[in-house]
Structure 1
């Protein structure tokens, strides 16, 4: 069974989560949608809010957190797949 690259999986998840936080912040400023999501999320990510600056701050937070979660998930997957294959 193939193993996942910790760095690549972490980078992919980090960029995805960071990009989504940035996109939601900018769209909420323009359209007003997603304000409740931002209210909940800004309690976790300091500085996150609607608009470009809040989106950039949230994007950086999202990249960092997504990277750590991605590396953790890939590491767990690799460990479980090695146990299953008997290696």
Structure 2
């Protein structure tokens, strides 16, 4: 299991950079035998939630008051992605 984060500079958002980075991260994790990827995302970060959902992540829980954003405690949504390649060989 590995925890992941993808950050894209504001001036490059909306150009597919995040999608490319996350796809590369998923590919490398599978190449190295990582079965589960996990991400914690602020609920109001809808673009990141959509990005992760498109990469196969699913919502598995909510952690209350776990991180700060601009000095305020915030919940984070816990997402995970299970590999379709790792651990499938009999």
Could you state the TM-score of these two structures normalised by the residue count of structure 1?
0.29
Name the structure with the higher strand share: 2
Name the structure with the higher helix share: 1
Q: Which has the higher contact order (CA 8 A, sep 6+)?
A: 1
Q: Which has the larger radius of gyration?
A: 1
